[in-house]
Amino acid sequence: MPLPPERLLIIKPSSLGDVVHALPVLVALRAAYPDAYIAWLVDSRFAPLLEQHPLLDEIIYFDRARFGRMWRSPRVFVDFWRFVARIRRRRFDLVIDLQGLIRSGLLSFFSGAGRRVGFAEAREGAWLFYSRRVRCPDSAEHAVDKNLAVAGALGLRVDRPEFPLDVQPAEHAAARALLSQAAGEKPDSFIAVIPGARWETKRWQAEKIAALIDRIDAEGLPRCVLLGSSDDREFADRVIAGCRTGVVDLVGRTTPRQLAALIDLADRVVCHDSGPMHIAAALGKPMVAIFGPTNPARTGPYSDVATVVSHPVECAPCYRRVCPYGHHSCMRQLEVETVLARVRAANPSPERGRGLRIVSR
């Protein structure tokens, strides 16, 4: 029986949703080893989500974009090995790689930890660098369930997954001030509409999102507030251009922590398969998530107050960034009225956890 670890490292650099999915493992580790030193290696872009987290002792900032150039730049190459040396000096005795790619596998190995745990089915040969390889059961289809399989293999007990983002009252107050400034008033309640998604195929048409916002306004539902990153700016502008009613625009104007605080303040959320969707699920917000080329059983919101809306087509899920047939029917044939009906029905539930509701029309 190995001794309880004293210094632990979680490797989960990205993406935004994947970082959220790994939070239950952090909770389980802290519960099992309350006195252990726990660090998390995360991409610098997503680190703000974890900063000052009460369950973490340290965040190790990983500059993925810069270190990706290490083979083309001698200076970056040297800096990478200095980064590795700093990790080795921390003398971790247990490393858990929840990313499962060659870079994260190598980092686990270079850490010098005697116990290195990861997925047996890790891609790019990352499994070669683990001292223990965890094979996930067939029932573990969602990313959260796969992460929990690793926790279970370590003997950690998880009765109900928890996703503590630890949004502070001061962050709520700052988010309210930002919202009031953008809206020109202090909205009593609002619906967060998050139009962005990394793939074009994951996005509903801009004109349909605009029509949905107009219908929400016409029915007297709470005002719509657009949220998202600066990468969503162009698409959000198309949505705004199609709206007949006024919409509060905060796209590209928030940090990850501010985004989480605004989502937490929202009455309900409308979104695509995206990182903010997983933040909303972690915060237990009533949600309508619009899906097309991806499978909600694998990447959907891990929540029992979320409804996934999709239009069934034979070719979905295809997991393609560009529709292979050119018709994009999974999104184009989804009607505004279908989504609106689910927005009307989105209400909080007293229970939180796994219980995704999928509505296909």
Q: What pLDDT does 343 receive?
A: 95
Helix, coil or strand: residue 360 = strand
Global pTM value: 0.90
Q: What pLDDT does 348 receive?
A: 58
Report the domain count for the chain.
Answer: 2
Structural domain containing residue 285:
169-360
143 plus 106 within the same structural domain: yes
Any domain includes 110: yes
CA angle (285 as vertex; 9, 248 as ends), nearest 5: 110
217 plus 286 within the same structural domain: yes
Q: How confident is the model at residue 65 (pLDDT cuts 50, 70, 90)?
A: confident
Cβ contacts of 16-19, under 8 Å, gap ≥ 24 = 16/46, 16/49, 16/256, 16/275, 16/276, 16/278, 16/279, 17/143, 17/274, 17/275, 17/277, 17/278, 17/279, 17/299, 18/98, 18/99, 18/143, 19/46, 19/49, 19/50
Section 98-116 average pLDDT: 95
310 plus 235 within the same structural domain: yes
Position 358 pLDDT exceeds 80: no
219 plus 336 within the same structural domain: yes
Q: What pLDDT does 157 receive?
A: 85
130 plus 177 within the same structural domain: no
Q: Which of 153, 187, 216 is the last residue of a domain?
A: 153
105 plus 180 within the same structural domain: no
Residue with tokens 């994951």: 202
pLDDT, one tens digit per residue, over 166-205 is: 889 999 999 999 999 998 888 889 999 999 999 999 999 9
Any domain includes 163: no
Any domain includes 2: no
- List 116's β-bridge partners, or say none: 95
**pLDDT above 90 covers what percent of the chain?**
75
Any domain includes 98: yes
Any domain includes 238: yes
43 plus 123 within the same structural domain: yes
**What CATH number is given to the structural domain containing 57?**
3.40.50.2000
